[in-house]
Amino acid sequence: MTNKSQNAGLTEDQKAFYQENGYVILTRVFSPTECQDFVTHMEELQNGRKQLEHFGQQSNYGSRTFNQHLYDPWALDFLIHPRLARPLAGCMGDEAEAIQTMHFYQGSEHPRHQDQYYLPDCMSAWIAMVDVTDTNGPLCLQPGSHRGRLITKRDVSMEFSLGETYEEQQTNRYFPAVEQVFAENGVEETELQASQGDVVLFHGRLIHGGAKVKDPGSPRHALACHYIPYHSENWDRDWPRIAFNGNRRTHFQS
C-alpha cells in the first residue's frame, strides 16, 4: 500500500530531518506490484526477451542504463510520478523539473561523490525497486555533508593528461578531492537499507556512494532520478527539463 502522506507532501518532521541531514526516506511510495512490474520490464530488456529502440547500458560502475526516460515511457512514468512532486518541492522550496535517470541492475560500489558536481543545483529521488540490504549494496550517505563544501569543476583540473580517460581523471583528481572534504566534515557515513517501494530523497551536495556488495552479482534494482528547481538557470545540457505535467523545455526560460 502506498503511504498516502507522500501524496500530500512532506511532514514538518520530515522537512526538518531533511534540512539537518540532507536526506529523508519516504516509505512505501510505490507498491510491490508497481516495482516488480518494472523489474520484470528491465530484466526482459536486459536479456533480450523485449526489444526497445535506443536501449543500452553503461557499465563503468556496475550495470546501468542512462537517461532511459528519453525513450522508455516506463522510466518516464516513475521519473515524473505525481507521488514525488510535492515531496521534492518540499525539499527544494520550488517546483521540481526532472532531468536525468539511471537504472542500476546491481549495487554500484560507486566512490563517494556529490551529484551537484555533475548536475548543478540538482537533488535525487532514489527508488528501491527491490529490498535493498547490506547484502546487495545499500547507499552510503554522510549526514549533514550537504551543508559543507561542494567540490566543483573549478576545484578539479579538467585538463586531461596525455592518454588519460575521463574515468581516470575522476579517479586521479575528483574522487580524492571529495574524500578530503569527507574527512574534513568529520562525520561517519550511514548505510541506508530500504524496502521495495521506498524512496530516498537526498540533496545534490550530500556526499554519498555505493556500499560494498557482500554477495557479488546479486540483483539490486534501483532507479535514480535527478531534478533541479524550476527557477534554476544552471542548465547547459541538451537534455529536456521535464515538468510533472509532462511539459518540456531544453534551455532555461522564465
What is the pLDDT, as a whole number, of residue 111?
Answer: 95
What is the pLDDT, as a whole number, of residue 1?
Answer: 27
Residue linked to cell 548536475: 119
Query: Is residue 30 situated within a structural domain?
Result: yes
Backbone angles phi, psi at 124, to 5 degrees: -125, 145
Query: Is residue 223 situated within a structural domain?
Result: yes
For the segment 119-149, what is each residue's pLDDT rounded down to a tens digit? 999 999 999 999 999 999 999 999 999 999 9
For the segment 26-59, what is each residue's pLDDT rounded down to a tens digit? 999 999 999 999 999 999 999 999 999 989 766 5
Q: What is the DSSP letter of 173?
A: I
What is the pLDDT, as a whole number, of residue 61?
Answer: 53
Cell numbers linked to 35: 516495482
Helix (H, G, I), strand (E, B) or coil at 3: coil
What is the pLDDT, as a whole number, of residue 3?
Answer: 42
Spans of the chain, pLDDT less than 50: 1-6, 254
Query: Is residue 206 situated within a structural domain?
Result: yes
Query: Is residue 176 situated within a structural domain?
Result: no
Domain count of the fold of the chain: 1
Query: Is residue 28 situated within a structural domain?
Result: yes
Residue linked to cell 515511457: 73
Query: Is residue 157 situated within a structural domain?
Result: no
CA neighbor of 27 nearest in space, from 142, 106, 136, 131:
131
Return the sign of the alpha-carbon dihedral for residues 151, 228, 110, 170: negative
CA neighbor of 124 nearest in space, from 116, 133, 132, 112:
116
Q: What is the CATH number of the domain that holds 44?
A: 2.60.120.620
Query: Is residue 207 situated within a structural domain?
Result: yes
Write out the residue range of the structural domain in which residue 56 sits.
Answer: 4-149+190-245
